[in-house]
Amino acid sequence: VERLEFEIKTILKMGFPGYFLIVGDFINWAKNNGCPVGPGRGSGAGSLVAYALKITDLDPLQYNLLFERFLNPERVSMPDFDIDFCQSNRDRVIDYVKDKYGHAAVSQIVTFGTMAARAAIRDVGRVLDFPYGFCDGISKLIPNKPGQSVTLQLLPAERKKSDKQVYALEAEPILAEREAKEEDVHTLLELARKLEGLTRNVGMHAGGVLIAPGKLTDFCPLYLQPGSTSAVSQFDKNDVEAIGLVKFDFLGLATLTILEIAREFIMKRHEGQENFSFETIPLDDGPTYRLFSDGKTEAVFQFESRGMQGMLRD
Per-residue pLDDT of 160-212, as tens digits, reads: 877 778 888 888 889 889 989 999 999 999 999 999 989 888 888 878 899 99
Q: pLDDT-based confidence at 8, cuts 50/70/90?
A: very high
Cβ atoms within 10 Å of 184's Cβ, excluding its own? 16
Judge whether 1 and 222 are in contact, CB under 8 Å: no
Q: Determine the pLDDT at residue 308.
A: 94
pLDDT for 81 beyond 80: yes
Q: What is the pLDDT of residue 266?
A: 95
Model confidence at 272: pLDDT above 80: yes
Confidence band for 220, pLDDT divided at 50, 70 and 90: very high
Q: Which of 218, 208, 289, 220 is nearest to 250 (CA)?
A: 208
pLDDT at 267: 94
Question: Helices 117-127 and 183-195: crossing angle, nearest 10°?
Answer: 120
Q: What is the mean pLDDT of residues 148-171?
A: 83
Q: Does residue 145 surpass a pLDDT of 80?
A: no
Close Cβ partners of 190 (under 8 Å, ≥ 6 residues apart): none
Buried/exposed 149-182: b ≥16 CB within 10 Å, e otherwise: ebbbeeeeeeeeeeeeeebbbeebeebbebbeee
- pLDDT one-digit tens code per residue, 49-71: 999 999 999 899 999 999 998 98
Residue 154 has pLDDT above 90, yes or no: no
Looking at residues 225-246, what average pLDDT do you find?
87
**Phi/psi-derived region of residue 246, left when phi > 0, alpha when psi is between -120 and 50, beta in every other case:** beta
Could you tell me the pLDDT band of residue 97, with boundaries at 50, 70 and 90? very high
Per-residue model confidence (pLDDT) at position 131: 92
Asked if 82 and 44 touch (Cβ cutoff 8 Å), the reply is yes
Give the per-residue pLDDT at 206. 79
| Whole-structure pTM value | 0.76
Exposed / middle / buried, residue 235 (Cβ in 10 Å: 0-12, 13-18, 19+) = buried
Mean pLDDT within 15-24? 92
